[in-house]
Copies of this chain bind each other. A is one copy, B any other.
C-alpha cells in the first residue's frame, strides 16, 4: 500500500462526511489492520478495479456515528438502523470512493468503481483475499466514531 493511495481516500472521507453531514471530522492515526473483525455495526464495501489497481474500500460506522451523520444528511432524526440509514451508507461509500477516484486519477492512478454492498451486524468477520495489507484509519465526529479501511494496491508495482 502506497501512501499515495491511502491519503486521497482519507482526504475524500473527510470532505464527504464534513460536506454531507455538516459536521467536523477528526482523523486519528492510520495503521495496519490486524485480524479480520469488522470494526463497527453498519458497513459499506466497494470494489475498485483497473488494469493497474485492485482492492476494496470499507467504511465501518458505530451506531451513534451513523445515526448522527444520516440524521444530519436527511434533516430528520434517525434513531434506528432503518433501510434508509443502510442506503445512506451505500451512498457515502460511493461518494467517498468517487472522491478518492478523482484525486487519484489526477496523479495517474486510474480505476473504476464496482457498486457498494452494505452489511449490518456486530462482530462480523471479513477476510480479504489479497496479498496487499489492509490500512485502517479511525475518525471521530461529534456523534461517534467510524473507520475507513482499504487494501488498494498496484498489480504492476515491483
Pick the contact of A127: B113, B117, B127 (CB < 8 A).
B117
CA distance A44 to B112 in the complex (A): 20
Number of interface residues, chain A, beta carbon within 8 A: 38
Pick the contact of A125: B54, B113, B119, B151 (CB < 8 A).
B119
A55 contacts across to B, CB distance below 8 A: 114-115
Asked if A129 and B91 sit within 8 Å, CB to CB, the answer is: yes
How many identical subunits does the complex contain? 2
Asked if A49 and B130 sit within 8 Å, CB to CB, the answer is: no
A51 contacts across to B, CB distance below 8 A: 112
A118 contacts across to B, CB distance below 8 A: 126-129
Asked if B121 and A124 sit within 8 Å, CB to CB, the answer is: yes
Asked if A127 and B48 sit within 8 Å, CB to CB, the answer is: no
Asked if A112 and B54 sit within 8 Å, CB to CB, the answer is: yes
Pick the contact of A115: B91, B119, B151 (CB < 8 A).
B151
Known contacts A47-B49, A55-B115, A56-B115; can you find 11 more A-B pairs with CB under 8 A? A47-B47, A47-B56, A54-B112, A90-B128, A91-B129, A114-B114, A116-B130, A117-B128, A119-B119, A119-B127, A121-B124
